[in-house]
Amino acid sequence: MVETNNRSYGLIGYGVSNEAMCRYLMGKGILPTVRCKNECKLPSGVAGIFGGDYLNTDEDIVFRSPSVRPDLIKGSGLVYTEVAYGLKKTNAFKIGITGSDGKTTTSTLVYRMLCQGGKNAFLGGNIGKPIISFAPSLSQNDYLVTELSSFQLMDFDEKLDIAVITNISENHLDWHVDMDEYILAKKRILNKSRLRILNYDDNAVRKLGNEKTVYFSLHNRQNEVRKGIKLVHIVNGAIYYGETELFSVSHICLKGEFNVQNVLCAIACTYGIVDCAACYAVASEFCGVDNRMENIGTYLGRAFINSSIDSTPNRSINTLSAFPLDRVVVIMGGYDKNLSYECLKPTLDRVKATVLCGENRDKIARVTSGKIINVSTLNEAVKAAFKISGCGDYIILSPASCSFDMFENYRERAKCFKEAVKEIKNGKY
């Protein structure tokens, strides 16, 4: 598609992705119309339509913010997201990665393995920069790794060279109508892909495979390999691609079984494009993305761990599984995404204590018979966790919830956690 002033362009919502889309269009000499529920500051020359009718569009081409459901948009124009349009406009080798958990870590691993292997790789989408800001300038010799959320996939219809689903579990049921819709959105990443990378250990994901699929598994799958199924799996403590031994699991820097799974997924995605040495170098040196199991120091024998990015129960379960639970004081709670928290019970029943704050704290408290402390703010939660903990314990921020009840995003929540820890180290507790 060639942008032209013969068509009219609209932007619904004006967050990070549509700000980038606006700059792209203006660089083509096009002034789009921005439509938002609430008034916002716009670039000079860009018209804005604000208020209750902002979803009633009359433009030829509309770019929706990922937070806006496509079925709520009224009008006859074509509807895209910034990320889908960026993928349409690029000549790069396209890798799309989605999943309920692990997609940020996996996307980062894939990007780093490609770079380590000498490829000219770029990372964007739901992680990092909006891809419209750089993807159209990439060549067929470049590699574009794109993290994709279910919001971005609701109307996704682009071709990918490799499509990845890390796993599927309950998430975002405050936005999706039900779990079926959420799963359908995730599955759309596969529709036009040349190769699929899927989790063999996740029954719902495994069923999505076809003859052009590479799977990954935490278990010995030699029998499946002998039947012709392509697998990255673990045999006697070593990672294998099919029947080829790559390297020992013990060399992986990331903590936790779930992170081993992320490494296997990244190898399934990149091995063959790059060699084993590149995969090994990244797996042995990369120790995690920001705000995921981040050790921010020790004070009076207590280790403080920031995992603010844990926005679902499953993510918290995975994080906490990497620690001795009887030495863990976990801080949980936040914005309620209409999820079930029952799966937390086996974990929370075993931790030393759970400190709760946030909108959904009562829902989490009801699932466990373990020790619960209720407070009003995150600052209070950190100090309460410190007081109940002892030497050798881990104080872990792993909310199992989004941050929007108290914070703009998980990064702001992490900043508050770190500031509270700093106060404790200064004797204010």
127-137 residue pLDDT tens: 888 999 999 99
- Report, as an integer, the average pLDDT of 414-426: 95
Cβ-based burial of 6 (10 A; exposed 0-12, middle 13-18, buried ≥19): exposed
Query: Would 145 be classed as within a structural domain?
Result: yes
Listed residue (386, 393, 419, 251) closest to 328, CA to CA: 393
* CATH code at position 203: 3.40.1190.10
Strand, coil or helix: 240: strand
Strand, coil or helix: 170: coil
Q: Which pLDDT value is given to residue 214?
A: 98
Does residue 75 sit in the same domain as residue 99? no
Does residue 319 sit in the same domain as residue 407? yes
DSSP 32: P
The whole-model pTM stands at 0.86
Per DSSP, which regions of 365-428 are E strands? 372-374, 394-397
C-alpha–C-alpha distance, residues 359 and 404, integer Å: 9
For the chain, how many residues are written?
429
**Max CA-CA distance within the chain?**
69
Does residue 191 sit in the same domain as residue 101? yes
Listed residue (32, 80, 77) closest to 58, CA to CA: 77
| CA dist list (Å): 289 to 39, 86, 105, 203 | 34, 24, 6, 27
What pLDDT digit, counting tens, does each position of 68-127 carry?
Answer: 999 999 998 999 999 999 999 999 999 999 999 999 999 999 999 999 999 999 999 988
pLDDT value at 379 more than 80: yes
- Structural domain span for residue 24: 9-80
Does residue 182 sit in the same domain as residue 63? no
DSSP 129: B
Query: Would 107 be classed as within a structural domain?
Result: yes
171-175, 198-202, 371-375: least confident range: 171-175
Q: Which pLDDT value is given to residue 10?
A: 96
Does residue 57 sit in the same domain as residue 116? no
CA 75, chain centre distance (Å): 31
Does residue 206 sit in the same domain as residue 62? no
Under the banding of pLDDT at 50, 70 and 90, the label for residue 2 is low
pLDDT value at 142 more than 90: yes
Under the banding of pLDDT at 50, 70 and 90, the label for residue 174 is confident
HEC string for 280-346: HHHHHHCCCCCCCCEEEEEECCEEEEECCCCCCHHHHHHHHCCCCHHHEEEEECCECCCCCCHHHHH
| CA dist list (Å): 396 to 308, 342, 363 | 9, 20, 20
Domain count, the chain: 3
Q: CA quadruple 205, 206, 211, 213: dihedral positive or negative?
A: positive
Q: Considering the chain, what percentage of its residues have pLDDT values greater than 90?
A: 89
Does residue 255 sit in the same domain as residue 242? yes
Query: Would 318 be classed as within a structural domain?
Result: yes
